């Protein structure tokens, strides 16, 4: 997920474009690819290091997009001072400290809803956590952004002790990855097709996905 993949209609409803179709993998497959493909700045740390992908890598990249929306900064900007060139590294400690004023794009002035911005930053903070097991499900992020729930940061954090962490992760692996699918555009074995879609087709796909998420969760 990156800004170039997001289309916005005349009434500001987002649509996801420029995507491929991926084949579902058997239940329990948590990582099926070792070749790293993606856009630098949006890659989850575990994917960049190991080449293995899970659904939580998409959660991470979505979090990066949220930070971009609020800050007005690019994911990677080598023209910025040292320490500010990589958006997530610069923003992470500000998010933890709830330093909203330092994160908001100065171009916005006072033309924004403070509650909405805080909601977006809270969701972003959860999404860009280094540990994939401590990131929320996208269904939780969606409900948080829509104002349907408040995600307690403690509730999605792994326990501090190693033994408890292993038990927590094992339980969450079984729960979170049963319906895991491989990402689009990885290689010819998984990508089964790509086609340009008209606005009507994209809108129908978007509505169908939202309904599917609601029914599933």
> Per residue in 71-95, pLDDT tens?
999 999 999 999 999 999 999 999 9
Question: What is residue 67's three-state secondary structure?
Answer: helix
d(CA 117, CA 69): 10
Interval 167-175 mean pLDDT = 45
pLDDT at 14 over 60: yes
Q: What is the pLDDT of residue 29?
A: 55
d(CA 77, CA 81): 9
d(CA 188, CA 209): 25
**pTM as predicted:** 0.61
Q: Picking from 117-126, 156-165, 206-215, which range would have the lowest pLDDT averaged per residue?
A: 156-165
d(CA 109, CA 107): 5
Domains of the chain and any CATH numbers: 3-14+33-153+184-216 (1.10.510.10)
Q: What is the pLDDT of residue 147?
A: 79
Interval 101-106 mean pLDDT = 94
Contacts 24+ apart (CB under 8 A), 9-12: 9/199, 9/203
Q: What is the pLDDT of residue 52?
A: 77
Q: Residue 135, class by beta-carbon neighbours within 10 Å (0-12 exposed, 13-18 middle, 19+ buried)? A: buried
């Amino acid at each position: 997920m990156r800004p170039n993949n997001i289309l916005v209609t005349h009434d500001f409803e987002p649509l996801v474009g420029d995507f491929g179709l991926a084949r579902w993998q058997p239940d329990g497959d948590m990582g099926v690819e070792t070749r790293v493909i993606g856009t630098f700045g949006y890659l989850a740390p575990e994917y960049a290091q190991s080449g293995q992908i899970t659904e939580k890598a998409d959660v991470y990249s979505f979090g990066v997009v949220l930070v971009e929306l609020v800050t007005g900064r690019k994911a990677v900007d080598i023209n910025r001072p040292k320490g500010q060139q990589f958006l997530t590294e610069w923003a992470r400690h500000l998010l933890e400290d709830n330093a909203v004023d330092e994160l908001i794009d100065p171009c916005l002035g006072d033309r924004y809803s403070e509650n909405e911005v805080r909601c977006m930053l809270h969701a972003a903070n959860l999404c860009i956590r280094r540990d994939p097991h401590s990131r929320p499900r996208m269904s939780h992020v969606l409900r948080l952004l829509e104002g349907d729930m408040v995600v307690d940061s403690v509730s999605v954090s792994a326990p501090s002790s190693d033994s408890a962490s292993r038990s927590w992760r094992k339980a969450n692996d079984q729960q979170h990855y049963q319906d895991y699918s491989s990402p689009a555009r990885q290689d010819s074995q998984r990508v089964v097709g790509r086609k340009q879609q008209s606005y009507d087709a994209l809108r129908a796909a978007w509505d169908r996905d939202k309904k599917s998420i609601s029914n599933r969760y």
